[in-house]
Amino acid sequence: MVVLVINETAVFREIVRRFFEMRGYAVLEAATSSESYLQAMEYKPQVVLVDNLMESLSCLTICKNIQSIPGMETAKFVIFTDFEGEVEDASGINLKETITKPNIVPKLKKAFPALK
């Protein structure tokens, strides 16, 4: 299974990448919305993890743009937020989970078991 991690902070992407790699997932990283779109077009990840605070586009816009790519219609999305209830209306995307920062690893463990 391939996951795409979208976050402007390299350290955050590294933490998430290591988490998934230790569980057997293939991981792609993107620091910008345009980079994430290109990664999604080329690799068609099954799960996309995006930060709620990205450059000039909202996380929901990024998710909708990626989901509109042919072959990405069934991808699941996880949004990292700073506060509970921060993502009000995620209709229109296949939202798997919202995870509140900063303590993300226990929540990721619950949402993503190790692959066999």
Are the beta carbons of 65 and 37 closer than 8 angstroms?
A: yes
How would residue 31 be classed by pLDDT, with cut points 50, 70 and 90?
very high
For residue 87, is pLDDT > 70?
no
Give all strands (DSSP E) within 64-114, no chain letters: 76-81, 95-100
Q: Enumerate the domain spans of the chain.
A: 2-111
pLDDT of residue 85: 63
Q: Kindly report the average pLDDT of the chain as a whole number.
A: 89
Q: CA-to-CA distance for 97 and 108, rounded, in angstroms?
A: 9
- Calculate what percentage of the chain has a pLDDT beyond 90: 59
CATH class of 2-111: alpha beta
pLDDT of residue 59: 86
Q: What is the mean pLDDT of residues 32-59?
A: 91
For residue 33, is pLDDT > 60?
yes
